[in-house]
Amino acid sequence: MSDQGAEMRNMVVEDAHEKMHKAIEHLKGEFGAVRTGRANPGLVEKLMVEAYGQPTMLQQLAGISVPEARLLVINPYDKSQIKAIEKAIQGSDLGVNPNNDGSIIRLAFPELTEDRRKEFVKVVKHRAEEGRVAVRNVRRQARHDLEALRKDGDISEDDLARVEKELEKHTHDVIAEIDVMLGNKEKELLEV
């Protein structure tokens, strides 16, 4: 195998690892946005607000704090944006009515019903499966790229088999991490 072949092989593997890591990070964000009955800044941070004529993430427009377990306080940096923030919250799927006193917005989260908790569990299971599919797609693309390197003679059959085995192990590790994340989120959702 040439040095160039080894370098190309390493680039394919590193790219696959990086994309799998991004899938995990994306899934963490998705899980953070699913309500558990507790106030959590992750529920609203990425909420898009129509501010200054363009969509802007809430976390760029306001400070978000959790003074109590079921209360989220949003303190806009620019008080003139309070109505826009309130409108974005009302238009979201949070299911919570904002309480605006003119300078801050309070979001009080009620206890989740058993049915609502089960719905959220279905949502996180679906998102976890989407994460697993994304990871498998990355693996498939990496295998395709490695196979192309073998066909071009840049890497040997033995090297291809070894790298595919490593890629398979890494894929299993990432999917196991997704399963752990799902288990933790399910437990958190079903906890009363």
What tens digit of pLDDT does each residue of 26-80 get?
Answer: 999 888 777 666 778 877 888 899 988 899 999 899 999 999 888 889 999 999 9
Q: Which one of 54, 77, 108 terminates a domain?
A: 108
pTM above 0.85, yes or no: no
Q: Do both 97 and 119 map to the same domain?
A: no
What tens digit of pLDDT does each residue of 151-180 get?
Answer: 988 888 999 999 999 999 999 999 999 999
Domain span holding position 85: 41-108
In the sheet where 71-76 sits, what is the strand order? 62-68, 71-76, 105-108, 99-100
Q: Which one of 78, 108, 138 terminates a domain?
A: 108
Q: Do both 45 and 16 map to the same domain?
A: no
Q: Do both 27 and 66 map to the same domain?
A: no
Q: Do both 181 and 137 map to the same domain?
A: yes
Q: Do both 133 and 92 map to the same domain?
A: no
- CATH number, position 54: 3.30.1360.40
Q: Do both 52 and 103 map to the same domain?
A: yes
Is 31 exposed, middle or buried, given 0-12, 13-18 or 19+ CB atoms closer than 10 A? buried
β-bridge mates for residue 107, sequence order: 72
How many domains does the chain fold into?
Answer: 2
Radius of gyration of the chain (CA): 22
Of residues 137 and 37, which shows the higher confidence score? 137
Q: Which one of 108, 141, 166 terminates a domain?
A: 108
Q: Do both 13 and 49 map to the same domain?
A: no
Q: Do both 144 and 160 map to the same domain?
A: yes
- CATH number, position 186: 1.10.132.20
Q: Do both 118 and 24 map to the same domain?
A: yes
